[in-house]
Structure 1
């Protein structure tokens, strides 16, 4: 088994989509995970002809498409909306900026994204959900259990109708468990699933980089949600072994500042144990793509994307189909 190695284009959306195809091929990738911003995958324009043109473009460079990603508008479905969201939401989703209107239009956009996935012949949409309760993370002023319960109920009210549409289309939504989302560790991932009554269209995009610096067991996450790992992001992070001047919350510092306790790193240059991740993915039978989400504030991205592709192809391996000591038995 050789899993396809793709690259998520979200950090490359400043480039035209064909330029991204050219570079991905040069870097050594097997395919793309197209983001829904820039001109990479424009949901309002994506009729069948548009989708066919995108597939033809990828085929021109011998690239495959396994998933599209709608992180930015997805964030707006559940969040308390403020001026930050104007910088990430699609213009038609932001509209007049009325918070509830933004949330409703974002929900509609998520359904349209599933329809586009169907036209593309794929069955995975990766993204964020947003969270009505992330701002309650640190429990002061005191946060009651009822407030948290209501937050998950609000998440379910907003996402169940979206997921029903996904289910009818045969498309899965893959939440990238991540700080600021409704699920950001193992416990909150269980809470999200419970709130949705384990909706069959809802699962996870596994990304270990968001767990490592939180000291969450990212390998255990794979085993706990073995039937819900629908997609995988390969991304590394570094965190300090010694106290720093800025802790896990980031101290309002920009990424890359050397005073931070943690930063994202190019694959193989952080602390994530990808050997154990591959073994766990083999154990649960995950055969989908390994999609590089490249982020490293201290490295040229073309150098980083090239070495990341080579790293993933080196670290990946097929599981054994025999017991190693079978040959010693009579």
Structure 2
């Protein structure tokens, strides 16, 4: 068994224009002061705190970043290309909205935008290798998502065509990560074609069971869609290589349920909460991940409809630390061991 690494924190929700949230170095000081020892770094966007293309081309830059963080008692847990991964596959219904994730020069040009996104995600493979990382966090993108509910009736072959194209786009990216020795960890998430176990299995089959097509486990999304998040670990633990520690609650009533009624996050029956304020059984999750030898980090992703983000971050580090199980090096009943004696074992069995 392995002891999970952590606590880590995903910085995407904290980057901003005001100090200390405007630069990686000052964000690192802030995170370290709260007790975090790992940072998951977002990439992409005009206000990015990490230069992905520079990292892919410069070992010196990666060494400088790693060294700066090490001086503060921190290390990179994973890089994230959630925004760029989303743009690997975009249904035209979302073109205008998702253009905001891309640089100005490719907006309004879906093919150019997709090519840029692929280059970015491949760059993340090289940058991750330079940083000595083994896992990478991203989204799959989506072509079939507008057809999630089968009404009007879906034409025969529509879903198969969408997933075939998704696999075709991702296969060379997965190969690039394989060459770099890094796992691609898809966050199973609404709005992505990979949004539950069934869709992940469909995709995995189409990429030939690719060894780098792995998973980022986030139980909050499963609470909101009423999927058994503990059984999910039993099914897919061999592919789970990243972990977002995020809480959620689902409280349906006579007005709305899983679909949410187009309501805001405060009013929805299903909403994300700060750690400890929702319904996720983290004790069971951390126990299962330890039992299954999960090799990675426990990383806070703060998203909450109610609590201030700085309060959520402050509370998150001790919450994760208290849930990490330092695994035992021996069995609890070893004190009563009678040793190994093959002849005695045969006698006990009457052989």
Q: Same fold (TM over 0.5)?
A: yes
Q: Which has the larger radius of gyration?
A: 2
Aligned position for 1:23: 30
Aligned position for 2:101: 88
Separation in structure 1 between the aligned mates of residue 84 and residue 4 of structure 2, nearest angstrom: 33
The answer to whether residue 206 in structure 2 is matched with residue 223 in structure 1 is no
- From 262, 267, 270, give the equivalent of 2:278: 270
Q: Secondary structure at the match of 1:4?
A: strand
Residue 271 of structure 1: CA displacement?
0.4
Separation in structure 2 between the aligned mates of residue 136 and residue 235 of structure 1, nearest angstrom: 27
- From 3, 6, 11, give the equivalent of 1:4: 6
- From 240, 243, 259, give the equivalent of 2:253: 243
Conserved? CA contact 1:209–1:236, under 8 Å: yes
Q: Which deviates more from structure 2 when the two are superposed, residues 139-148 or residues 22-31?
A: 139-148
After superposition, the C-alpha distances for 1:243-277 in whole angstroms (9 at most, x for unaligned) are: 1534322333332x2x2111110111100111111
The answer to whether residue 46 in structure 2 is matched with residue 44 in structure 1 is no
Separation in structure 2 between the aligned mates of residue 24 and residue 291 of structure 1, nearest angstrom: 12
Alignment of 1:1-330 (within 5 A): 1=3, 3-14=5-16, 15=21, 16-37=23-44, 38-46=47-55, 47-48=57-58, 49-81=60-92, 82-91=95-104, 95-240=106-251, 242-243=252-253, 245-255=255-265, 257=266, 259-328=267-336, 330=338
Unaligned runs of 5+ in 2: 339-351
Root-mean-square deviation over aligned CA pairs: 1.7
Conserved? CA contact 1:73–1:90, under 8 Å: no
Conserved? CA contact 1:67–1:124, under 8 Å: yes
Separation in structure 2 between the aligned mates of residue 149 and residue 126 of structure 1, nearest angstrom: 25
Conserved? CA contact 1:66–1:289, under 8 Å: yes
Q: Secondary structure at the match of 2:76?
A: strand
After superposition, the C-alpha distances for 1:113-168 in whole angstroms (9 at most, x for unaligned) are: 11111222212210101011011101111113511111110111100011111111
Separation in structure 1 between the aligned mates of residue 24 and residue 332 of structure 2, nearest angstrom: 46
Aligned in 2, Cα 1:152/1:309: closer, same or farther, shift over 3 Å? same
Residue 329 of structure 1: CA displacement?
5.2
Separation in structure 1 between the aligned mates of residue 317 and residue 49 of structure 2, nearest angstrom: 20
After TM superposition, the score normalised by the length of structure 2 is 0.88
After superposition, the C-alpha distances for 1:22-70 in whole angstroms (9 at most, x for unaligned) are: 1101111011011104332222333323222211221221101121001
Conserved? CA contact 1:132–1:151, under 8 Å: yes
Separation in structure 2 between the aligned mates of residue 188 and residue 45 of structure 1, nearest angstrom: 34
Conserved? CA contact 1:167–1:201, under 8 Å: yes
Q: Which deviates more from structure 2 when the two are superposed, residues 171-180 or residues 2-11?
A: 2-11
Runs of 4+ in structure 1 off by over 4 angstroms are none
Separation in structure 1 between the aligned mates of residue 26 and residue 40 of structure 2, nearest angstrom: 15
Q: Secondary structure at the match of 2:108?
A: coil
Separation in structure 1 between the aligned mates of residue 48 and residue 230 of structure 2, nearest angstrom: 35
Q: Which deviates more from structure 2 when the two are superposed, residues 261-270 or residues 316-325?
A: 316-325
Aligned in 2, Cα 1:112/1:321: closer, same or farther, shift over 3 Å? same
Conserved? CA contact 1:4–1:30, under 8 Å: yes
After superposition, the C-alpha distances for 1:220-247 in whole angstroms (9 at most, x for unaligned) are: 111211211111110000111x415343
